[in-house]
Amino acid sequence: MPWRLLVAHLRRSWFRTALTAAGVALAIFLLATLRTVVTGLQSVVKDSNANRLVVTSALGLFKNQPVRLRHELQTVPGVRDVTDWTWFGGVYIDEKNMFSRFATEPATLRRVYGEGPRPDIAMPADQWEAFEADRGSCIVGMGLVREFGFAIGDKIEMTGNIFPGQYTFTVRGIYLKGRDQIDEAMLFFQWKYLEQSIERDGGTSEVGIFVLACDPNVETGAIARDVDLRFASSDHATTTVTEAAFNQMFVSMWGNVPLLLSMIGGAVLFAAFMIALNTMLLAGRERRLEIGVLKALGFPGGVVATLLVAESVLVCGTGGVAGVAAAHWMFDIRRVEILDRMFPGFMILPETALGAVAIAALVGLVSGAVPAIVATRTSVVSGLSRRG
């Protein structure tokens, strides 16, 4: 097999080779990125904790619930712990500084999310203790540290909008995410601090959602039914779902975006295929004489076809690897904060990377196959009768 010929062609038409590989690389980069958005959304649901239940108001997610439910929920058989999250909103310096801020109960947040061999919210014990001890404290994720340069002891001034007023939080802890799907750009502060403000303004003490940590090996569906039955006839009926179902609700808000992204990915892929096919058809046409000469010298048609297919697979495969490498560098190594914020754990999965490279190679295979078939069918005499 005259592999040297393959290398020689790539070197001779290096600019065209580079452009084709770059075109495929760009397409594969986009494809891997779009696919990662879809897998990122799916992973939020897939990697949810099976032992957690989320209790929202039956009237909807944005209807807060009486804080006294916390104690009642704690008495439900199978419920090990209860914590709560209340969406605070607020403005930090400027409205464009968007990140999630929640009022919560530090001790239960720690027990539900911050303990165990692989806690979702990983933070040193002394920082948890400082958070619990100081009513005006807060903890922030490492993403916010990277973006705003927060450090332990810093004061964070915030203007309330849902809960009007001026708020000042002291940073007492910096957490790291324990798994990719946890947002590292959240701020948690004590609900009691918020309660003071609400009561001062004559409001009622309410929280957004309750999160129930259930005992291991219990049937969470039964607990959810039990919870909802308890409050069904009260003025604060609940809807209790698994953490996975709760996350699914957020994913559903994206509607047909994953489908749309997949369609865009398909269009990008088709464009890459057209680029590669055009290049290889041109290469095949330019080499009619060469194909004739090789066949005249005694090289079987299969060898000539293999060279064309191998060249195409090599160029497209290289483009595919480059595209995936660029996506890996951008999203997994360098990380793009905005994507991290929108899709916690936004990272190129190994199966996405392998799939993208395989698709690039497949594009090369099909693109090379067309001129290869033409080459195989070209008679020696016909090939020799053409000049480059």
Partner 1 sequence: MLIEVRGVVKSYAKGAETVRVLHGIDLDVGDAEWVALMGPSGSGKTTLLNLLGGLDVPDEGSIVVGGEDLVGRSPAELAGWRSRHVGFIFQLYNLLAVLTAYQNVELPLLLTPLSRKERREHVEVALSTVGLSDRMDHYPSQLSGGQQQRVAIARAIVTDPSFLLADEPTGDLDAKSAHEILDLLQALHEHYGKSIVMVTHDPAAAKCADRLVHLEKGFLVADEVRS
Name every residue whose Cβ is closer than 8 Å to that of residue 120 and which is 6 or more positions away in sequence. 49, 113, 114, 177, 178, 179, 182
Minimum Å gap between C-beta 258 and partner 1 is 46
Q: How far is the CB of 20 from partner 1 (least distance, A)?
A: 17
Where in 165-217 does DSSP place strands (E)? 165-177, 186-190, 206-207, 209-214
Sequential DSSP letters for 256-267? THHHHHHHHHHH
Is 15 one of the binding residues for partner 1 (CB under 8 A)? no
Applying CB under 8 A, does 384 fall inside the site for partner 1?
yes
Q: Are strands 100-104 and 186-190 parallel, antiparallel or unpaired?
A: parallel
Q: Which residue from 59, 296, 342, 358 is in contact with partner 1, where contact means CB under 8 A? A: 296
Answer yes or no: are the C-beta atoms of 163 and 88 closer than 8 Å.
Answer: yes
Max CA pair span of the chain: 96
Is 299 a binder of partner 1 (CB under 8 A)?
A: yes
Q: Minimum distance from CB of 310 to partner 1 (Å)?
A: 15
Residue count, binding to partner 1 (CB under 8 A): 26
Select the residue interacting with partner 1 from 5, 122, 281, 282 (CB under 8 A): 5
CA nearest 40: which of 371, 340, 358?
A: 340
- The footprint of partner 1 on residues 53-112 (CB under 8 A) is none
**Considering the rule CB under 8 A, would residue 2 count as an interface residue with partner 1?**
yes
Question: Residue from 233, 297, 334, 350 that binds partner 1 (CB under 8 A)?
Answer: 297
Nearer to partner 1, 164 or 302 (CB): 302
Tell me whether residue 5 or residue 176 sits nearer to partner 1 (CB atom).
5
Contact letters for partner 1, residues 276-295 (x by CB under 8 A): -------------xx-xxxx
Parallel, antiparallel, or unpaired for β 165-177 and 155-160? antiparallel
Q: Is 300 in the site for partner 1 (CB under 8 A)?
A: yes
Closest CA to 6 of 387, 304, 317: 304
CB atoms near residue 255 (< 10 Å): 9
Instruction: Give the residues lining the site for partner 1 (CB under 8 A).
Output: 1-2, 4-5, 8-9, 11-12, 289-290, 292-301, 379-381, 384, 387-388
